[in-house]
């Protein structure tokens, strides 16, 4: 027999099997989800959730799809958080401090409370990546923020009104486009394709009778 636990969904009490995730517990209790449910596996950040275990003072944050229910858990989902997302032209911006000052000046108002880091559902050093963003160190900001699913919980706890996930998003794009090293073999291959260097090779292959292509495929050499 399943072990049942008590959970409070938006304050209302339900009994659910303890093997369920919070998301499954909601469905088990009769909720048909539209908001607050995307990938169902920790990638999209649609299911940000705040919870508190009875007797404990601390509010914790998690992803409902990848967190198991606990006994006496009070749950409130945060299916949307109004982050600030500034528009910019990726072709025009430069990877300097200037751009953060212009688009997200509030990051310089960070009071260092570290609430963002404590709240991160992915366990990231959020405050630290914001510090890198302040200094225009986009490579480091990108690296530290890489696993961000943009659920917005960090921002919900921020006294300075920072939209951390959007700051990190900008930093990663700046890093990917401007800071990371150019890839020579890629540029070279694109040139070759555009010059039609492989055209006849492929056409030739496409024109072969099936048995011949099959033989080529079955005997092709595989890189070690």
Interface contacts to ligand FES, rule CB under 6 A = 37-40, 42-47, 63, 65, 149
Residue of 12, 57, 105, 206 that binds another protein (CB under 8 A): 206
164 binds another protein (CB under 8 A): no
209 binds another protein (CB under 8 A): no
Cβ 162 to ligand FES shortest distance, Å = 21
Phi-psi region of 85 (alpha: psi -120 to 50; beta: other; left: phi over 0): beta
175 binds another protein (CB under 8 A): yes
Contacts (CB under 8 A) with another protein, residues 41-80:
41-44, 46, 66-68
Cβ 53 to another protein shortest distance, Å = 17
Nearer to ligand FES, 26 or 37 (CB): 37
Give the separation between CA 58 and CA 34, rounded to whole angstroms: 28
Choose one: 88-96, 97-105, 126-134, 153-161; the region binding another protein (CB under 8 A): 88-96
Cβ 11 to another protein shortest distance, Å = 20
């Amino acid at each position: 027999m399943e072990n049942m636990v008590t959970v409070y969904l938006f304050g209302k009490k339900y009994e659910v099997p303890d093997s369920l995730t919070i998301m499954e517990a909601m469905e088990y209790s009769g909720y048909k989800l539209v908001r607050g449910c995307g990938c169902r596996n920790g990638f999209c950040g649609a299911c940000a959730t705040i919870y508190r275990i009875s007797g404990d003072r601390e509010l914790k944050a998690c992803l409902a799809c990848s967190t198991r229910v606990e006994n006496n858990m009070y749950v409130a989902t945060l299916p949307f958080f109004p982050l600030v997302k500034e528009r910019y032209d990726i072709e025009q911006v430069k990877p300097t401090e200037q751009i953060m000052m212009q688009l997200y000046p509030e990051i310089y108002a960070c009071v260092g409370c570290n609430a963002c880091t404590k709240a991160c559902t992915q366990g990231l050093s959020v405050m630290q990546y914001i510090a890198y963003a302040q200094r225009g160190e986009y490579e480091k900001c990108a690296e530290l923020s890489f696993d961000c699913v943009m659920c917005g919980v960090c921002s919900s706890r921020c006294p300075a009104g920072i939209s951390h996930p959007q700051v990190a998003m900008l930093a990663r794009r700046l890093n990917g486009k401007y800071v990371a090293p150019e890839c020579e073999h890629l540029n070279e291959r694109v040139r070759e394709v555009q010059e039609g260097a492989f055209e006849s090779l492929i056409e030739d292959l496409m024109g072969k009778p099936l048995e011949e292509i099959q033989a080529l495929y079955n005997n092709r050499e595989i890189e070690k």
